[in-house]
Amino acid sequence: MFYGRVRKQDFNVVYDRVTAKLASWKSRLLNRPGRVVLANSVISSLPSYHMQINWMPQSVCEDLDKTVRRFIWKGAGDKGMHLVSWNKITQPRKYGGLGVRCARTQNVALLGKLIWEILQSPDKLW
Protein backbone atom coordinates (compact mmCIF):
# COMPACT_ATOMS: atom_id res chain seq x y z
CA MET A 1 0.00 0.00 0.00
CA PHE A 2 1.14 3.51 -0.71
CA TYR A 3 0.92 6.57 1.45
CA GLY A 4 0.02 9.78 -0.34
CA ARG A 5 -0.32 10.32 -4.04
CA VAL A 6 0.49 7.35 -6.27
CA ARG A 7 3.16 8.14 -8.83
CA LYS A 8 4.46 6.41 -11.92
CA GLN A 9 7.80 5.75 -10.22
CA ASP A 10 6.05 3.60 -7.61
CA PHE A 11 5.28 1.01 -10.28
CA ASN A 12 8.75 0.78 -11.85
CA VAL A 13 9.08 -2.67 -10.27
CA VAL A 14 6.12 -3.94 -12.30
CA TYR A 15 7.40 -2.43 -15.52
CA ASP A 16 10.92 -3.78 -14.89
CA ARG A 17 9.58 -7.31 -14.32
CA VAL A 18 7.66 -7.22 -17.61
CA THR A 19 10.63 -5.90 -19.60
CA ALA A 20 12.98 -8.42 -17.98
CA LYS A 21 10.64 -11.25 -18.94
CA LEU A 22 10.50 -9.98 -22.52
CA ALA A 23 14.28 -9.66 -22.72
CA SER A 24 14.75 -13.27 -21.64
CA TRP A 25 12.66 -14.65 -24.50
CA LYS A 26 14.07 -15.15 -27.96
CA SER A 27 11.19 -13.36 -29.64
CA ARG A 28 12.85 -13.41 -33.06
CA LEU A 29 12.36 -17.17 -33.00
CA LEU A 30 8.63 -16.86 -32.24
CA ASN A 31 5.94 -16.25 -34.80
CA ARG A 32 3.11 -13.80 -34.12
CA PRO A 33 0.62 -16.36 -32.78
CA GLY A 34 3.28 -17.53 -30.32
CA ARG A 35 3.87 -13.97 -29.21
CA VAL A 36 0.14 -13.45 -28.69
CA VAL A 37 -0.06 -16.55 -26.51
CA LEU A 38 2.88 -15.37 -24.40
CA ALA A 39 1.37 -11.88 -24.12
CA ASN A 40 -1.96 -13.33 -22.96
CA SER A 41 -0.59 -15.84 -20.51
CA VAL A 42 2.52 -14.28 -19.03
CA ILE A 43 2.84 -10.56 -19.69
CA SER A 44 -0.75 -9.73 -18.82
CA SER A 45 -0.64 -11.76 -15.62
CA LEU A 46 2.62 -10.36 -14.18
CA PRO A 47 1.15 -7.04 -12.98
CA SER A 48 -2.13 -8.58 -11.82
CA TYR A 49 -1.09 -8.75 -8.14
CA HIS A 50 -0.40 -5.02 -8.06
CA MET A 51 -3.61 -4.36 -9.97
CA GLN A 52 -5.67 -6.21 -7.35
CA ILE A 53 -4.74 -3.85 -4.55
CA ASN A 54 -3.68 -0.56 -6.19
CA TRP A 55 -5.20 1.87 -8.64
CA MET A 56 -2.51 2.16 -11.28
CA PRO A 57 -1.98 5.51 -12.97
CA GLN A 58 -3.12 5.80 -16.57
CA SER A 59 0.46 6.32 -17.77
CA VAL A 60 1.55 2.99 -16.25
CA CYS A 61 -1.35 1.17 -17.93
CA GLU A 62 -0.52 2.83 -21.24
CA ASP A 63 3.15 1.83 -20.92
CA LEU A 64 2.20 -1.78 -20.19
CA ASP A 65 -0.14 -1.84 -23.19
CA LYS A 66 2.54 -0.28 -25.37
CA THR A 67 5.04 -2.92 -24.28
CA VAL A 68 2.62 -5.75 -25.10
CA ARG A 69 1.72 -4.17 -28.42
CA ARG A 70 5.38 -3.73 -29.38
CA PHE A 71 6.17 -7.33 -28.39
CA ILE A 72 3.32 -8.74 -30.49
CA TRP A 73 4.16 -6.83 -33.65
CA LYS A 74 7.90 -6.18 -33.54
CA GLY A 75 9.35 -8.86 -31.31
CA ALA A 76 12.93 -7.99 -30.45
CA GLY A 77 13.67 -5.92 -33.53
CA ASP A 78 12.73 -2.38 -34.41
CA LYS A 79 10.94 -3.28 -37.61
CA GLY A 80 7.31 -4.18 -37.76
CA MET A 81 3.98 -2.72 -38.70
CA HIS A 82 0.88 -2.72 -36.56
CA LEU A 83 -1.39 -4.56 -38.95
CA VAL A 84 -4.54 -4.48 -36.80
CA SER A 85 -5.81 -1.78 -34.44
CA TRP A 86 -5.38 -2.21 -30.70
CA ASN A 87 -9.17 -2.11 -30.19
CA LYS A 88 -9.55 -5.13 -32.45
CA ILE A 89 -6.75 -7.06 -30.71
CA THR A 90 -8.24 -6.51 -27.25
CA GLN A 91 -11.65 -7.87 -28.22
CA PRO A 92 -12.53 -11.41 -27.09
CA ARG A 93 -11.79 -14.24 -29.49
CA LYS A 94 -15.46 -15.01 -30.05
CA TYR A 95 -15.88 -11.50 -31.50
CA GLY A 96 -12.90 -11.79 -33.83
CA GLY A 97 -10.18 -10.32 -31.59
CA LEU A 98 -7.10 -11.92 -30.10
CA GLY A 99 -8.20 -11.77 -26.47
CA VAL A 100 -5.33 -9.60 -25.23
CA ARG A 101 -6.33 -7.86 -22.00
CA CYS A 102 -6.11 -4.08 -21.77
CA ALA A 103 -4.28 -3.04 -18.59
CA ARG A 104 -6.80 -0.37 -17.54
CA THR A 105 -9.85 -2.62 -17.86
CA GLN A 106 -8.04 -5.41 -16.03
CA ASN A 107 -7.15 -3.01 -13.20
CA VAL A 108 -10.76 -1.79 -12.90
CA ALA A 109 -12.13 -5.33 -12.96
CA LEU A 110 -9.76 -6.60 -10.26
CA LEU A 111 -10.44 -3.64 -7.98
CA GLY A 112 -14.17 -4.04 -8.57
CA LYS A 113 -13.86 -7.66 -7.48
CA LEU A 114 -12.17 -6.54 -4.26
CA ILE A 115 -14.88 -3.96 -3.58
CA TRP A 116 -17.57 -6.56 -4.23
CA GLU A 117 -15.96 -8.93 -1.73
CA ILE A 118 -15.75 -6.19 0.90
CA LEU A 119 -19.41 -5.26 0.45
CA GLN A 120 -20.73 -8.82 0.32
CA SER A 121 -18.68 -10.26 3.17
CA PRO A 122 -18.34 -7.65 5.94
CA ASP A 123 -17.63 -10.39 8.51
CA LYS A 124 -14.27 -11.33 6.94
CA LEU A 125 -11.08 -10.21 8.60
CA TRP A 126 -10.31 -7.23 6.40
Residue 105: the pLDDT is 92
Mean pLDDT of 29-53: 82
Residue 75: the pLDDT is 64
Q: How far is residue 123 CA from its own chain's centroid?
A: 32
Query: pLDDT of 73-117, one tens digit each?
Result: 876 566 667 778 888 888 998 998 888 889 999 999 999 999 999
Domain boundaries, the chain: 8-120
Say what the pTM is.
Answer: 0.80
Query: pLDDT of 42-66, one tens digit each?
Result: 877 888 888 888 888 899 999 999 8
CA-based nearest residue to 37, from 72, 7, 84: 72
